[in-house]
């Protein structure tokens, strides 16, 4: 499977933004006089886990989307074209491809969270890593996404 350009671009944005926040975190450790080599190794582990998690998520969504085949939309009834009476209409059942895609994404999420959990446990228990320096970068992609989505769009 070929990685789509959008996956590469978004992963690069997350990697860069997470790296900037990780460097700021390291700077705070230095200012507080708490910097040592375990902060650096922890920061690298946390950064790699965060970016790897995002990349695997994007790859899973790409694969699920690639496997889904477009289905023909049913023709609108005459009743549908009239005024909406405010009632919610039931959602159409998912196609088999959509069900498989949903299952793939759910399995990926579970496995990625287990992987992050293992990395977090290793980062906290092993003496080669500073625990906060491992755990904080795992939160940074969410902050980067929030910051990227808060930018005004240019048309």
Rounded Cα distance, 78 and 30, in Å: 69
Axis-axis angle for helices 5-31, 37-67 (nearest 10): 160
Q: What is the pLDDT of residues 6-18, one digit of tens each?
A: 899 999 999 999 9
pLDDT recorded at residue 82: 46
Q: What is the pLDDT of residues 59-71, one digit of tens each?
A: 988 888 877 755 5
Maximum Cα interatomic distance, the chain, rounded to a whole number of Å = 72
Q: What is the pLDDT of residues 79-126, one digit of tens each?
A: 444 445 556 666 666 677 777 778 888 888 999 999 999 999 999 999
């Amino acid at each position: 499977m070929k990685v789509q350009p959008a996956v590469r671009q978004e992963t690069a944005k997350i990697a860069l933004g997470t790296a900037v926040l990780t460097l700021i975190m390291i700077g705070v450790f230095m200012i507080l006089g708490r910097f040592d080599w375990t902060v650096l190794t922890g920061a690298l582990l946390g950064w790699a886990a965060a970016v790897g998690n995002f990349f695997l998520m994007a790859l899973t969504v790409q694969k699920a989307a690639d496997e889904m085949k477009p289905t023909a939309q049913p023709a609108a009834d005459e009743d549908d074209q009239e005024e909406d009476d405010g009632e919610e209409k039931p959602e159409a059942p998912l196609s088999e491809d959509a069900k498989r895609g949903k299952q793939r994404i759910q399995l990926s999420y579970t496995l990625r969270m287990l992987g992050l959990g293992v990395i977090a446990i290793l980062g906290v228990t092993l003496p080669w890593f500073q625990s906060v320096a491992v755990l904080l970068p795992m939160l940074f992609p969410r902050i980067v996404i929030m910051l990227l989505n808060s930018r005004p769009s240019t048309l």
